[in-house]
Structure 1
Amino acid sequence: MKNENKFSIGEISKLTGVTVRTLQYYDNIQLVPLQKSETSKRRYYTESDLTRLQQVLFYKSLGLKIKDIATLLEETSNAEQLRNVLEKQRDIFYYKLHDIKSNIAMIETSLAGMEENDALPLGNLVQLMISLNKDTVYQYKDVPFDKKAEDTFIEHYQNQEAVIEVYWDWKALILEAVAHILHDIEPESEQGQDFAKRWIEMVVSITDGSKELLNVYKDSYKNREQWPMEDQQLIDFTNTFIDKAVDHYLSAGKADVWRNHND
């Protein structure tokens, strides 16, 4: 430690952007304590203290609470322990992302209904959204896909975030289709055709130009009795509307991107 450079609290504040008051707080709770000179009353930080402070700031940026950071600094003495902590925090963020995506989907559904008649969402639509299980996506881990399908999914969706994105892009449109049906919107109408356009764009986007992935989705759709009950009921309720909207859109000579995707 004698060979380490020493820094005043003001120098560290300027170097890291952390206020002096915050550094004093970290010192008081012994999270990043100041060192005391043996020969004078001067207090300072060493390079090791700066490294510890950087760790604190890193964990804080991940959303960890101060008390958890203190425990973390004590308990993570090796890479494996730190890896476990970071993986846990990553899972927390994935769940938060999932929750945000589900809320956005429900807002979009409400807006779709309001735009159709400039009125408050219908009671049965509100009841549907209240009763939705936001964790339905996690039930797909129990769906028995064949080995080829599993390998295809693993190849294209390498993390949980990608799966959540795809699921809620799909479900948001399913819920919008529910709103259209409850508001007696015809599939051939302007609103129905706008929906068809975005449905096609969604399918093309989530399959990313892969015919193999598209075929896996088609097979899964044919065997949707294995899906979680909520999604089975939603797709059964909206299936006719979606098919009619898409068929009419394609029969009108639109969606080159769809035809190219299926060539």
Structure 2
Amino acid sequence: MTKYRAIPPGFMTVGEIAKKMGVTIRTLQYYDKEGLLTPSAESEGGRRLYTDKDLLMLNQIISLKSLGFSLEDIKGRLFPLETPEEVANALSEQAEDIRKKIEKLKASLSAIEQLKAEVLQIQTVNFKKYADIIVNLQMQNDSYSLIKRFDDDTLDHIRSRFDKKSGSDFMDRFNRLSDEIMQLQKNKVPPESKKCQELVKEYWDLIMEFTNGDMTMLPRLTEVGKIDIATNAWEEKQKIINEYLGPALQIYFSKLGTNPFEEV
């Protein structure tokens, strides 16, 4: 590190760069200690001296820290800034990190707005339901609106049967199957067709997996499945599927010689 008797032009003291960049002197001293930002020079009196290049390097650190990177991560992401290309690359990477952060913030904002809407529809304070909705929003599960339709007993059953991973896997399979059934409906495939009945069997198997064979849950699921007025795209889709599935399930049960819903 170069030493100067006095502070030459183009150099800043630790206090000056701290004020300019809105950080504390202690923060700069810590960055120096951790090897993140070493001053370019030092006066004979021991004052740490910084340049405009150091200021740009500090800007990299502050930006990455604000995006949630640890100091260890930041060390590996800093560009040396020796050439115009390195400066441009540093700025490009900062811009990309900021864009990703913006997308996450947009998703968080959307989740908050959706949760607010659901809270008002539930009309009673129910923190368990709020938590379930938040988890499903984080999973980007479009069927999160179902939660407000479930009673507390059904929700307790779901919590005991599924964790985040298994719940996500179940909904992926359910949505895939729903898409296939929706396609049959669009193509006007008859409910009694072999393809439709194969999907109906798969659909019923999912219901049995969901209830763990507890037939007493069927009336509650039937009530939950009734969608008179759809409030979102997922409910609109399920409403169409339900209209097609009704007759298909009747045919499936008649072939089995039993109707679980009637028996319950």
- When the two structures are superposed, what TM-score results if normalisation uses the length of structure 1? 0.41
Structure having the higher Rg = 2
Higher RCO (Cα < 8 Å, 6 or more apart) = 1
- When the two structures are superposed, what TM-score results if normalisation uses the length of structure 2? 0.41
